[in-house]
Structure 1
Amino acid sequence: MPNYRVSFAKQILGVPFTIGAVEISRARDPRRAQRAAELRFARQHGIEDWRERADQVAVETAQM
């Protein structure tokens, strides 16, 4: 199964600023990796929904 890196960013005045990234290993597909990363990101920041901190998410295949 592929590994994924999911990045979270906040757009301010039209410029995206990366807030954080989460590494997901062994996800079946990019959608599942994104969902797992959203949950982990929220837990790491002590919030209920990742959208409280970021407004953009990007999933890319990573080499771990």
Structure 2
Amino acid sequence: MANYRIHFAKEILGVPFTVGSVEIARARDPGRALRAAEIRFARQHGLLDWRERADTADIAASGAGGQG
């Protein structure tokens, strides 16, 4: 399993400005990491949906997988 960092950005006049990021440890695949990050981001900001605060969510692997 890999670790991922998801960056959330708001676009203003076509320019993305990062409004937050979430680190997800030990996700099975990038899709699951992205979904978990979207939920966590929304909860951190007291929102029902992460899109209330950000326009885009970009995912990047942030390290090697776990042990074993």
Query: Residue 51 of structure 2 corresponds to which residue in structure 1?
Result: 51
Secondary structure at the aligned position of 2:27 is classed as: coil
Point out the structure with max Rg over C-alpha.
Answer: 2
Structure with greater strand percent: 2
Secondary structure at the aligned position of 1:25 is classed as: strand
Amino acid in the other structure paired with 1:17: F
Q: CA RMSD in A?
A: 1.0
Could you tell me the TM-score, scaled by structure 1's length?
Answer: 0.97
Could you tell me the TM-score, scaled by structure 2's length?
Answer: 0.91
- Aligned-residue sequence identity (percent) comes to 67
Which structure 2 residue ranges, 5 or more long, are not aligned? Answer: none
Which structure 1 residue ranges, 5 or more long, are not aligned? Answer: none
What is the total number of aligned residue pairs between the two structures?
Answer: 64
